Structure 1
């Protein structure tokens, strides 16, 4: 069946319904979830970022970092530095490159930090 994402007028503004197959063992079960639209947009951006880090704009990466890590602790200079719950790497420190793009190596650092954050969340 795949996934179907639909905006439902009866849901609060900014929410969508996701309907898709969920693999459970050898069987598949269709589930319906109601989730905030921003998470779907975040998932779409994350897939695009992983596929092509060099095509991400600074503003897309900045907004993604704000959603995931909160407001930057340093902003308004050439760098935006985001706080992480661990010391050291991977750090989240981004800056604009030429043409309004994010620097690809910084995109990779953001992905590493995001993956570490998700792994820590899964491990409780």
Structure 2
């Protein structure tokens, strides 16, 4: 069974977790990044850029070409919660594939909090 760990990380916390998972499982890794990077300033990123995307339902373009998901049986998707949902680049990633039938998904938002605190 082939697994892909796809993650979105603005601050680096989720990236650390994704790297740990890859090291333990041997899975492939894909970083979901916005084509136009978010501001490095937290307030600008959170209260202007990310909030606007949520309010206007904007699905920003992704920087790196998407991987061929056909070769994966499982997808581990890791991301922080922004404005009570996943960051919109994660939505773009998921919506970029017309058919996820037969794929097993593991969403790691809850587990990330548990791993960081232990």
TM range (shorter): under 0.3
Q: Which has the larger radius of gyration?
A: 1
Higher relative contact order (CA 8 A, sep 6+): 2
TM-score, normalised to structure 1's length?
A: 0.26
Structure with the largest fraction of strand: 1
